[in-house]
Amino acid sequence: MDGNRRWAEARGLPIPLGHKAGAEAVRRTIEACVEQGVGWLTLFAFSSENWLRPAEEVRALTGLLRLYLRSEVATLAKEGIRLRVIGDRSRFGDETMREIARAESVTAHGTRLNLTVALSYGGRAEIVAAARAIAEAARDGRLDPASLDEAGFGRRLFTADMPDPDLIIRTSGEQRLSNFLLWQAAYAEFVFQEVLWPDYDAEALADALREFGRRERRYGARTG
């Protein structure tokens, strides 16, 4: 979800107001996904690299996260939306971890949309953590390395019970993966859109879905 900073700077506004506008775009996108019948939505909200941003901006982002968790959870639960968080949530501190756990619990029975938010997330770190868990299991005699396959490796990722993404959308004209779902994106389709994230809406999502619908997905195999 790129473009919050550029959106604010173009309007002469403080950067935190760009992030606030981005949170409004999150709400619109969730609603649009429900209307379009999308079953799974994963939002890359805060990367492990984002901790390197200026302290003031990090405080604004984490404060907005806590506010969103407190204000939106009841609506998510009412609308049948299940919220899950992937990433190293411990870096946000005890208060935010409690808010995340509460939000996940309150929305646990939602079935209309599986909403996953990646926080303090990095694809490389996720793969390293899975490899470390596998190595420890092998060392302790709980795993035969010869039995390990891709499915077994995938079960040790944050996304263990989630389907791999069909479509990855990147906004604001950026055209790179930026450490997002590196393992899971092996056969995902990509759509790059020029719209800045705070301006994202149902029409932009519909455009991306139409583009996805025109793709022929071969998963490395030949057709015809």
Q: Which residues contact 206 (CB under 8 A, 6 or more apart)?
A: 32, 36
3-class secondary structure per residue, 1-37: CCCHHHHHHHCCCCHHHHHHHHHHHHHHHHHHHHHHC
- Check if the beta carbon of residue 157 is closer than 8 Å to that of residue 174: no
Q: Which two tokens stand for residue 100?
A: 């995340």
Tell the residue number behind the tokens 């994230």, with chain if given: 197
- The residues carrying an active-site annotation are 2, 50
